[in-house]
Structure 1
């Protein structure tokens, strides 16, 4: 975790201030710093005895308690070790299969013992590899993405300005830290000197209790309606929502409740790409250049200081890097006009992206206020999830955005089902208890004929990733096998 130096500074200045609250208890900044120092000394002693840890070595952290995860990750930062966060919900066999593909130098299955001794003085460097976590998007085999200190910590001042987070805040992080979204939220809160509430997993029933003290919450889009239902009129003022698409209705409901909404788009591999601070659309995050290559839908490419170093052990995945330092994970978007240049396609063809002035002040990237200085980025989803049906290309996210407005729909995933003539047909799997005639009425009103689902299923709860996003790959497999968990809508 790239914030051990900041945590130690906060501990020296405000030792009794709350740092973390999790399922098993709370730690003040003074208590957190003492535990981190002791655990870091243990890691260093292990390295000295066995030579198996230290430097840029990787420590797999398989702990379930989010407070213990953060203690271990901070200790690793102080000791010069890269923590690799593993999903605690994996069974032993799956964990072994995954870690075989990502060689590690040590594993942490229990909280670190604390070794007494002299304080360790941090010696941070921008290119330290300080964090690694798994990403599979919504499908596929998890891949371990590694980040440098600068690629995370350098963006903190921009997030502070956009979201207004200070040491006086209490930040709710209602998801597993193995998700880069929630991991970043916890790290950023500690860097700011705020208190982080880290329950470890999404628990709608516990929201009301958390919201009695949280002033800021960091969420995925589907969680915002549940949070609004649970609000007891507490101090919450700001919600940060990470995802390519926040429904306008959800934003409007949050604003009616008196909340400021900051929505952003990015990826585990890319970090922040674009941000929407006022509901007018996603614009380039500060210091980010964006290109959309191709028409009528093209791939989103980004260049910024916030990009990851890629996958550990050169693992395979959707991340691609071109010779000019631009990265893409295959998300698709409508054509995009940059801040001061012509269409992005012409910039890519002309090589204009090679200019030396990469910073936000040059006009090449997003501005610090997130409002002016660029066109709106309209992300349409992951390119490899597009459905080819009868010669038409259907982007599932476009269909899902319309169907979520239907009565009785809590959430929906759209996938392709094989068809002998059309190639695939659009299939909707709905969470909730909708009526098919109402779904079809909404589809006819808001979708082109090729986009309208031919097959309709319902289930009480969609399978989800650790971050709380619908697990598209699992839903597709359920639909393909006719799993009894799905109820076909007649």
Structure 2
């Protein structure tokens, strides 16, 4: 089956199959636009794409995939050093950009090939080898320049087919979101998903509550920041009641936001888990329960396990916290040109080490505690999950946001330190509040009140920046 099977085979010429902001095209027109790009890419092995939230980006990505090239999305907000690194490290030999828009890639950069929405083609390109690379997505770690995660066409297909099964995702759906088009969430799920599975797509541009409300979709994707803003806008939230599914990912959804959305929209949000290197591996199902603070069960073909710091297996009893490891058809091929990084992320038997701490219940439900480096706090001989303390803080009516990290302590090794955005609260009050809800050793030893938490483009709190303070 072709990777973009619906797009490749559809004869539907209704004009609103794919809409980005205020421009829309039919399936047939999108295929002809993308084929014109594919015609220009003959022989190009890797192509960078200016990943702005535009129809040109969708056409460029699809054209490159039709041509069998590996797509290297370039974030529109990348600074000069990051941009130069992505273009150089990826080995991209061409850069797709809107016609008449972005100028040259820079000194020594690849030549620019314009994506011209006035051009169409009916060339029939052979379907690329399923074993070929689909995407090279750059992902940042705690040190060094971003690494290029090489993602195969088979992995993308397996991920999307697994989500179709979990979410009952069909051509009857209209998917609505406003996510960036250079990450797994917005690009793989939010663009390639509809092109494989046949649902229509409406990318609303900036993901404002009123734009989600006006879109009339059946399935909505968002990150916690988006859902929090929608929950704070009751009229927009109520407008989502006719939808079929609300999906949240890329970071943990606060339990309070889950509850507020359930009350306003009538929907309990589906949460799911994945990484650039694994795509989506675990999710709640459309036909099953949704539990705040958990991310569901493995997708078809995906296997998960927990291990301790020595690699020994831990029980799936809902209590044991350990590193989550993953195996299955959605895994990436490795980091481009970085065998050292590959080796560091693979267990001896080939399972991928996510670096995330989780628990798995007897029923297979997963709860992500957080990153091993920042969210598993070892204090006075205890192992404390930062997420549990954050949830306790967020239950206080005066707390709007909370992030918990471990900071050095001369006696305990690490102490629980909380960063809080709140109204009319103080540290001692919050420490006492948590101590009344959780075990005494889990209470924060220090609360630092801040104006805002540092977040990345997907709304994830950048805890390494807090811990470095």
- TM-score normalised over the length of structure 1: 0.78
Bigger mean CA deviation after superposition, 199-208 or 298-307: 199-208
Find out whether 1:447 has 2:450 as its counterpart. no
Partner of 1:425: 415
Q: Secondary structure at the match of 1:334?
A: strand
Q: Distance in 2 between matches of 1:226 and 1:140?
A: 33
Q: Does residue 166 in structure 1 map to residue 166 in structure 2? A: no
Q: Distance in 1 between matches of 2:433 and 2:386?
A: 16
Q: Is the 8 A contact 1:151 1:305 kept in 2?
A: yes
Distance 1:271 1:233, change over 3 A: same
1:310 corresponds in structure 2 to: 334
- Structure 1 regions of 5+ residues with no counterpart? 48-52, 338-373, 481-490
2:436 partner SS: helix
Structure 2 residue aligned with 1:377, among 366, 372, 381? 366
- Deviation string 1:81-100 (CA, Å, 9 cap, x unpaired) is 10111221112233224444
Q: Which position in structure 2 is the counterpart of 1:406?
A: 396
2:96–2:115 contact (8 Å) kept in structure 1: no
The answer to which structure, 1 or 2, has the higher relative contact order (CA under 8 A, 6+ apart) is 1
The alignment status of 1:61 with 2:49, answered yes or no, reads: yes
> Equivalent residue for 2:219?
216
SS in 2 for 1:378: strand
**Residue of structure 2 equivalent to 1:273:** 281
Give the direction of change, closer, same or farther, for the CA distance of 1:460–1:237 in structure 2 (3 Å limit).
farther
Matched residues in 1 for 2:144 and 2:410: separation?
Answer: 25
Kindly state the Cα deviation for residue 180 of structure 1 after the two structures are TM-superposed. Answer: 0.9
Deviates more, 1:30-39 or 1:164-173: 164-173
Q: For residues 441 and 108 of structure 1, what CA distance do their matches in structure 2 show? A: 56
Structure 1 residues 34 and 460, CA, compared in 2 at 3 Å: closer, same or farther?
Answer: farther
CA–CA separation in structure 2 for the residues paired with 1:64 and 1:193: 23
Name the structure 2 match of 1:226: 229
Structure 1's consecutive aligned runs of 4 or more residues displaced over 6 angstroms after TM superposition are 137-140
What is the total number of aligned residue pairs between the two structures? 427
Q: What does residue 9 of structure 1 align with?
A: 9
Task: Rate the CA distance shift 1:116–1:27 in 2: closer, same or farther, 3 A.
Answer: closer
Are 1:259 and 2:267 an aligned pair?
yes
Distance in 2 between the 1:216 and 1:139 partners? 37
Q: Where in structure 2 are there 5+ consecutive unaligned residues?
A: 100-113, 309-313, 315-319
After alignment, is 193-202 or 287-296 more displaced? 193-202
Q: Secondary structure at the match of 2:129?
A: coil
Determine the C-alpha separation between the residues in 2 that align with 1:395 and 1:30. Answer: 50
Counterparts of 1:182 and 1:138, CA distance in 2: 23
Q: Name the CA distance, whole Å, in 2 between partners of 1:305 and 1:78.
A: 22
For 2:110, the equivalent position in structure 1 comes to none
Question: CA offset at residue 64 of structure 1?
Answer: 1.9
Do the aligned residues in 2 keep the contact of 1:217 with 1:239 (CA within 8 Å)? yes
Deviation at 1:382, TM superposition (A): 1.4
Residue in structure 1 matched with residue 465 of structure 2 by the alignment: 474
Give, in whole Å, the separation in 1 of the partners of 2:359 and 2:51. Answer: 41
Which residue of the other structure, out of 80, 91, 115, is the alignment partner of 2:68?
Answer: 80
